[in-house]
A and B are shown apart, each in its own frame.
Chain A
């Protein structure tokens, strides 16, 4: 085969392969939604985060507004300290609620922000004071059993 045709075919092959990689990254993967424009960091303390993981989504009214960037255990309070990166476009009042919710019955856990009514907005490094921990199934069952035990008598 002539050298130019060979080179042409190999060129097409390499371009198609790289195109496939880009498709995987953007269309199949989440690289398109990965880097949010500019973010600010907000912290929140939870007594139990359940199955929340880093990179979990932060939503408000169901809209994706940020991601969980870091989860550590604060050894002074013995509570989970969750750092969230929130898109600069979205400002939240200082008395915003942060709840750990579950999408669907068995879905992933995410943080839902419910805005309060205060005038001032959360700034970078602020702490969300009102939080609600994840619902742990064992606790629920435990409470249910505890409550229903006396009724049987």
Chain B
């Protein structure tokens, strides 16, 4: 009885220690990226290339998703607001929920599953096929050459994608609310503008998405670089990237919202 109980506690303690240990290694990895990121600015085309693969290639999913999220918000918001006779507040409802929460969070979640998992798989496979070791043999720092440009590309891309997501969402809400249902266009826009504050809502949303960009890319790169160099290891790392970054986004979103309000 006693022995079984101790065994459970030992298992729990080992897990906690392991995850703390991984967070520590991750933080050291992040500081290593920051220290070695000179090359991603002096040879900027490296970053631009990664920006193409993680940012431009994610555009379509972000735009389409944003549009449909906005349309759903328009429909649901209208149905709810109608009960209180305040359909004119639809514009501010759609814009506030997008700019404050849905834009940054959903864009980062989509980015994590679209670009983050690809980053992990790419770096993990580079490691498995010993390309990383080959670079080290040629005295090229793989973190500066491979990892840092991807990091900065992700950090640049996520806020821009989040802003586009919000704009597309507002447009989708406009389509459903004003064009389809027939909410008054003037009150839609004027209520939106009088209720969305630039500093308190827009800038805070941008700040959130910057934080998400750093976290998602750092997790994706760390998992890729840390993956065991086997087929199984890379697949596990890709899964972990999506799970960990999604959880990190949602938890951080709560913390940041609580700090900002």
Contact = CB atoms under 8 A, between A and B. Distances in A.
Contacts of B55: 10, 13
B172 interface: no
A36 interface: no
B24 to A, nearest CB: 34
Given A24-B163, A29-B202, A10 B52 contact: yes
Contacts of B167: 20, 23-24, 28
Interface string B167-201: 10010000000000000000001001110111001
Nearest to B49: A6
A17 B197 contact: no
Interface residues of B, number: 31
A3 B164 CA distance: 25
B95 interface: yes
Contact of A6 (B48, B189, B197, B205): B48
A32 interface: yes
B99 A33 contact: no
Contacts of B164: 16-17, 20
Given A24-B167, A30-B193, A17 B48 contact: no
A13 B166 contact: no
A136 interface: no
Most chain-B CB neighbours within 10 Å: which of A6, A29, A32, A34?
Answer: A29
A12 B55 CA distance: 11
Given A7-B48, A20-B160, A24-B166, A30 B197 contact: yes
A60 to B, nearest CB: 17
Interface string A1-39: 101001101101110111011011101111111100000
Contact of A28 (B52, B56, B161, B196): B196
B56 A17 contact: no
Contact of A24 (B45, B51, B99, B161): B99
Which are the 8 A-B pairs with shortest beta-carbon distances? A17-B160, A20-B163, A31-B198, A29-B198, A20-B167, A20-B164, A21-B163, A29-B202
B159 interface: yes
Contacts of A13: 51-52, 55-56, 59, 157, 160
Contacts of A1: 52
Contacts of A33: 193
Q: How large is the interface on A (under 10, 10 to 19, 20 to 34, 35 or more residues)?
A: 20 to 34
Interface in A44-88: 55, 57
Contact of B160 (A6, A18, A25): A18
Interface of A: 1, 3, 6-7, 9-10, 12-14, 16-18, 20-21, 23-25, 27-34, 55, 57
A6 B163 contact: no
A28 B192 contact: yes
Interface in B120-161: 156-157, 159-161
A55 B48 contact: no
B71 interface: no
Contacts of B49: 6
Contact of A17 (B95, B159, B198, B201): B159
B51 A21 contact: no
Given A17-B163, A28-B99, A34 B52 contact: no
Nearest to A15: B160
Given A17-B164, A28-B196, 14 more contacts: A3-B45, A6-B52, A10-B56, A13-B51, A13-B59, A17-B159, A18-B160, A20-B164, A20-B167, A24-B205, A28-B166, A30-B198, A31-B202, A55-B197
